[in-house]
Amino acid sequence: MTEQIEVLTTIAFEDALIEKLAAVSPRLHFRVARAAKVEEIPPEIWAMTEVLYTDRIMPAPDAVPNLHWIQFHWAGVDHALDAPLLQKPGLVVTTLSGAAASQVAEYIVMMLLNLGRRLPEAISLQRKESWPNDRWERFKPRELRGSTVGIVGYGSIGRQVARLLQPFDVRILATKRHVMQPEDLGYTFDGMGDAGGYMFLRLYPPEALRSMLKECDFIVITTPLAPHTRNLINAQTLEAVKPGAFLIDVSRGGVVDHTALIAALKEHKLAGAALDVFPKEPLPADSPLWKMPNVILTPHIAGITTHYNERAAVLFAENLSRYLEGLPLYNQVDLAQGY
């Protein structure tokens, strides 16, 4: 009989989802350890684990001599890049890129419409019980139809945004590290994203970001946080932005330089922003962003959904099948690139 594969998950998956995962193959033996710390899992369990599904719990490399693969529960792994475990020779590391694409893309479209229609100001007037005489001028919208939307980071979320925007007749521009490979090689759920890479008008390399920003009415930041993307949106890049553009950031805190962002908002270089991620979370109470009338702030909630674990299990099951067949896994992390 083929040797059994020990799979340890530290995530509290529902029993029905564990059953579906175990049904991938009789070779898979699942252990569910709903733990918050490494020490809460017995050393003998760590020692036999071949596949680890986790969010942030990572033992020392010598504690897991049989570990071959880590599947992270989230799309971003910037929190784990310095962990000694990730330097274990031969270890494969994968993310759940794609599992949050649907809900985050919907959040982005919502914010595009809210900003373009000046909804924050309208809500402010409602609270003041004010009916402005200059409303025809004050609320001239930036319509999505006919506008240019620039997506910084054409990954699973950016591709789903492009799909959702198709009926709006917008010009979609995007940046991607490998512009000669527009296809999506990661996991794509049926009916989602842009697997073939054809829903944009132009694709730019990261080095041409400023050239793209000059044309954008809306800028959507979806790139991962890595050493080369930290402060990617800074004073220099914001200088290239088309006056009156709006910015939506759902990436990671640190991709957008908030000092430069606040300056661009105060100087009306940017007409407004919607921010779900911040360099420091929670956002400090003394941040000027709290009181800016042209800014929408949300507490890192764009990816929340009641369907996340279900989608996570679908992707994990697909990767388990590929692991058993010796095929390349979806969403492998390039540690040199940081994502």
Q: Which two tokens stand for residue 91?
A: 């270890």
| Number of continuous H segments (helices) and E segments (strands) in the chain | 10, 12
Catalytic residue among 118, 252, 258, 311: 252
Among the options 39, 228, 281, 307, which is catalytic?
281
281 in active site: yes
Read off the amino acid at residue 272. G
Residue-wise over 158-175: b if at least 16 C-beta within 10 A, else e? bbbbbbbbeebebbbbbb
Judged by DSSP in three states, 40 sits in helix
- Active site residue: 68, 171, 230, 300, which one? 300
The secondary structure of the chain in percent helix, strand, coil, rounded to multiples of 5, reads: 30, 15, 50
Which residues pair with residue 30 across a beta bridge? 7
Question: Catalytic: 44?
Answer: no
Q: How far apart are CA 229 and CA 217, in angstroms?
A: 22
Query: Which tokens is 168 given?
Result: 């709006």
Counting Cβ atoms within 10 Å, is residue 146 exposed (0-12), middle (13-18) or buried (19+)? exposed
Q: At what angle do helices 101-116 and 156-164 cross, to 10 degrees?
A: 50
Vertex 227 angle, CA 204 and 209, to 5°: 20
Query: d(Cα 26, Cα 264) in Å, to the nearest integer?
Result: 57
Q: How far apart are CA 172 and CA 98, in angstroms?
A: 20
Sign (positive or negative) of CA dihedral 77, 81, 83, 89: positive
Active site residue 252: yes
Structural contact between residues 249 and 256, judged by C-beta atoms closer than 8 angstroms: yes
Q: Is residue 236 a contact partner of residue 264, using CB atoms and an 8 Å limit?
A: no
Residues 45 and 33: beta-carbon distance below 8 Å? yes
Output the six-digit token pair for 339: 């994502």
- Catalytic residue numbers read 252, 281, 300
